Amino acid sequence: MHIETITTHPYNDQNPGTSGLRKKVKVFQQPGYLENFVQAIFDSLDGFTGKTLVLGGDGRYFNRPAIQIIIKMAAANGFGELIIGQGGLLSTPAASHIIRKYNAFGGLILSASHNPGGPDEDFGIKYNVSNGGPAPEKDTNAFYQRSLVIDSYKTAHIEDIDLDRIGTHQIDNLSITIVDPVTDYAELMQSIFDFNLLKQSIGSGYITLLFDAMHAITGPYAKRILVDMLGATPDSVINAEPLEDFGGHHPDPNLAHAQELAERMFGSAPPVFGAASDGDGDRNMITGSHIFVTPSDSLAIMAANAHLIPAYTQGLRGVARSMPTSQAVDRVAACYNIPCYETPTGWKFFGNLLDAGKITLCGEESFGTGSDHVREKDGLWAVLFWLNLIAKKRQSVADIVNEHWQKFGRDIYCRHDYEAVEMDSANGIVEHLRNQLLTLPGQTFGEYTVKYADEFSYEDPIDGSISSNQGIRIGFENGSRIIFRLSGTGTVGATLRIYLERFEADASKHDQDAQMALAELINLAEQFCEIKKRTGRTEPNVVT
């Protein structure tokens, strides 16, 4: 194997966000751009010579050529084995599982998650460590610092690998194994859920379902598990073929983007259960007949009912949520006297808690839930969890939600996303909010009296690391909250996310529309941050 060292020059914009490096495809196609970042990762890691690297992605545009580039670089840098999903495909949770199952050194996942795909759209890459989870901040900071001074990268002169043929290729000391991307993951799901009960409930017609794969990675997984293994009808899985541009759609599982699913679930004669997943398969949207379940409620309901799922019958060690996620799961944890942790946004913050055995379930309001079975959020796992609950409780989605609210109360909640805000304007809004933090506590606005106003900082209880500047919080005496945060998942400008939450204990008021119930908080949010005045935006791009 001939190895060549190629001279390059650094790029100054390779700082990974909450989920890796995400840029437009054309940025990644610049000479040496992808190679620089991959080499920066390899240069920052120790002890991988002869070890195993897992590789795969969500199938978006540039996935295949990027994988061929990385194969050659991994070979040149001394990895001993590569495990690659057939066709270059691996969902993010499946990649996490394969890293863990085969004791890999780590993995590279090629995805920009829920962002659009295509020649003019987005691409991304992130490194996952040996526990199967995203690299922690100390590693991503090291990748970035190395990228700023990198002057060369290594590549091997080998032929492109046939990614579509399952089997093992041997090139000198390097073993390259192409695996079915679904098999290992499907076996894991069988070990967690009651597939016999699910098969009986679906086969008898008690559960009818509709799953929207959004022309993204979960199509093959959903067809294998829901249709082939559990007996759902083939038309229960729609938009099932992974496409490089996701069919021209935005693969973000919410009511705004999963329109075909939403129309069916809120139309005449809907199925009992509906769900969708995103580009790389780690997010989920849960719906029932004429009901949408917020991700915050979904996490809380899972926690309250986990004992009904075979893998969790012994109870939960603890739960965790990201700071902007509603406090609904906190109420479940308090009721059952189990620990509840509040972390910054980003799945990597759950990793230490999971590895230390402090928690079993965790989730984010951004349509992500997961457990200790992998170290990523997991869309299809959440779908199977809900299907197992419906089959076990013999209740509709709406009945399960309403029963939960009756017991714990309802955290009325929504998120307003202002996408592609000009960076200077976005930073100006945050600075404007920071300037109010000292003076807001004690002030009263209608029925809302400010209890606290701060910028969230997190000290990891396992390793003691500090993560600062994780979002502006304004909390009120009645338990309501407004949170402002700049998201790190976009590729153009900044996405300002405003989270609004109000607790309602009165069961007679649980059915009220969230936007109506939160109207005063929405007005207060504008008063505090002035996004309309500062950006000219009249309304958010997406409301979830």
Place of tokens 């309501």: 480
How many Å apart are CA 241 and CA 246, to the nearest integer?
A: 9
Q: Is 76 helix (H, G, I), strand (E, B) or coil?
A: helix
How many Å apart are CA 122 and CA 25, to the nearest integer?
A: 5
Place of tokens 């009960």: 197
How many Å apart are CA 525 and CA 394, to the nearest integer?
A: 41
Phi-psi region of 78 (alpha: psi -120 to 50; beta: other; left: phi over 0): left
In sequence order, the β-bridge partners of residue 306 are none
In sequence order, the β-bridge partners of residue 494 are 421
Within 10 angstroms of residue 472's Cβ, the number of other Cβ atoms is: 24
- Residue 505, burial from CB neighbour count under 10 angstroms (0-12, 13-18, 19+): exposed
The DSSP result for 406-435, as a single string, is HHH-EEEEEEEEEEEE-HHHHHHHHHHHHT
How many Å apart are CA 140 and CA 349, to the nearest integer?
A: 13
Cα dihedral 513, 514, 515, 520 sign = positive
The structure tokens listed for 151 are 């002057």
Q: Pick the catalytic residue from 19, 96, 111, 113.
A: 113
Residue among 316, 473, 321, 479 at smallest CA distance from 410: 479
Distance of CA 323 to the CA centre of its chain: 15
Cα dihedral 522, 523, 525, 531 sign = positive
How many Å apart are CA 497 and CA 519, to the nearest integer?
A: 17
Among this protein's residues, is 113 annotated catalytic? yes
Within 10 angstroms of residue 423's Cβ, the number of other Cβ atoms is: 12
How many Å apart are CA 363 and CA 320, to the nearest integer?
A: 7
Q: Is 274 helix (H, G, I), strand (E, B) or coil?
A: strand
How many Å apart are CA 143 and CA 39, to the nearest integer?
A: 9
- Residue 464, burial from CB neighbour count under 10 angstroms (0-12, 13-18, 19+): exposed
Cα dihedral 367, 369, 374, 380 sign = negative
How many Å apart are CA 149 and CA 104, to the nearest integer?
A: 28
Residue 366 DSSP symbol: T
Residue among 345, 384, 337, 386 at smallest CA distance from 362: 345
Q: Report which secondary-structure segment, H or E, holds 503.
A: strand 494-504
Residues known to be catalytic:
113
